[in-house]
Amino acid sequence: MFRKLTAVLIFATIAQCSVGTEASAQEGITVSGKASVEQPVTRFSLSLEITEFGFSASKTKALVDQKSGQVTRVLQLYGVANQDINSAQLRLTTVNNKREIERLYVERELAATESSSDRAFVALNKSRDSKTSNKQILFRVSRTISFSFNDIDVYDRLLDGLVKSGVTQLSPLVSGVENAEQLYQQALALAIDKARAKAEFIAKQAGVSLGDVISLQELGYHAPRAKAFAMAESAGFQSQHGNSAVNAEVSVVFAIK
């Protein structure tokens, strides 16, 4: 029993020495490095919605399709490529609430636009009676169109053309860069270089020599944040854009000689 206990103690002592040797071998200088690469914004995206109401689902959809075609032609006119246009998102819902139907009619009357569809909408409202209104179902048809483009100089004129085509809702403009991954690789290399320079400075101040890299950890991928720009309302205002930055950060442990 005594011999077994002695053997266990000897094994534990050897294990502790091994761990201590390994820990001392891992001693070094731990530093972090950060870097950022900027590039002018080169990519812009926008989404819009076309919405119509009617008691015939097929006729209301046909009206939305007609306006969608007009919007597509405007986009093509200002250089937006077909592959950068997504118009597949179509929604059809019903409005069954009587008060909601009446509110929609009032809003359309107050708009007092000149389009034939609006006049038909208002005329139908005036000709119907309360019994009919309780039985009719109002359809809401909307299509969302999203697209991307590169030339910010056409943005203001593009907005004007879209509004004239019957667009009912426009999202804020979102900007970004096309080659974000390539920019991140550049920022990552710069971050590692800065970490090494920092470690060399520390080693020199401590009177030691810098060895090889023991470990290197990537602390995060900070892609450029998408920036949204609200639509300008004042006439003559020219939309502008700035730069977008890609950030990288690493943590490096260098051995000491």
Identify whether residues 158 and 232 lie together within a single domain.
no
Read off the pTM.
Answer: 0.55
Q: In the prediction, which pLDDT does 126 show?
A: 45
CATH for 67 = 3.30.70.2970
75, 166: one domain = yes
Structure tokens at 17: 């020495």
Distance (Å, rounded) from C-alpha 211 to C-alpha 199? Answer: 10
Task: Please check whether residues 77 and 192 belong to one and the same domain.
Answer: no
Query: Is the residue at 130 inside a domain?
Result: no
Per-residue pLDDT of 207-253, as tens digits, reads: 999 999 999 999 876 555 544 444 444 344 445 566 778 899 999 99
Tens of pLDDT along 154-163? Answer: 888 898 899 8
Indicate whether 153 and 183 sit together in one domain.
no
Mean pLDDT of the chain: 76
Domain membership of residue 6 (yes or no) is no
- Say yes or no to pLDDT of 8 above 80: no
What pLDDT is attached to residue 241? 60
Residue pair 156/241 in contact (Cβ under 8 Å)? The answer is no
pLDDT digits 0-9 by tens, 55-91: 899 999 999 999 999 999 999 999 999 999 999 899 9
d(CA 32, CA 252): 6
- Same domain for 63 and 168, yes or no, is yes
Neighbours of 11 (CB within 10 A): 10
Last residue of a domain, one of 115, 148, 172: 172
Assess whether 49 and 37 both reside in one domain. Answer: no
Q: Given 172, 198, 223, which residue is the final one in a domain?
A: 172
pLDDT at 195: 95
Residues 85 and 186 in one domain: no
Residue range(s) defining the domain that contains residue 252: 27-41+178-256
Structural domains of the chain, count: 2
Indicate whether 151 and 229 sit together in one domain.
no
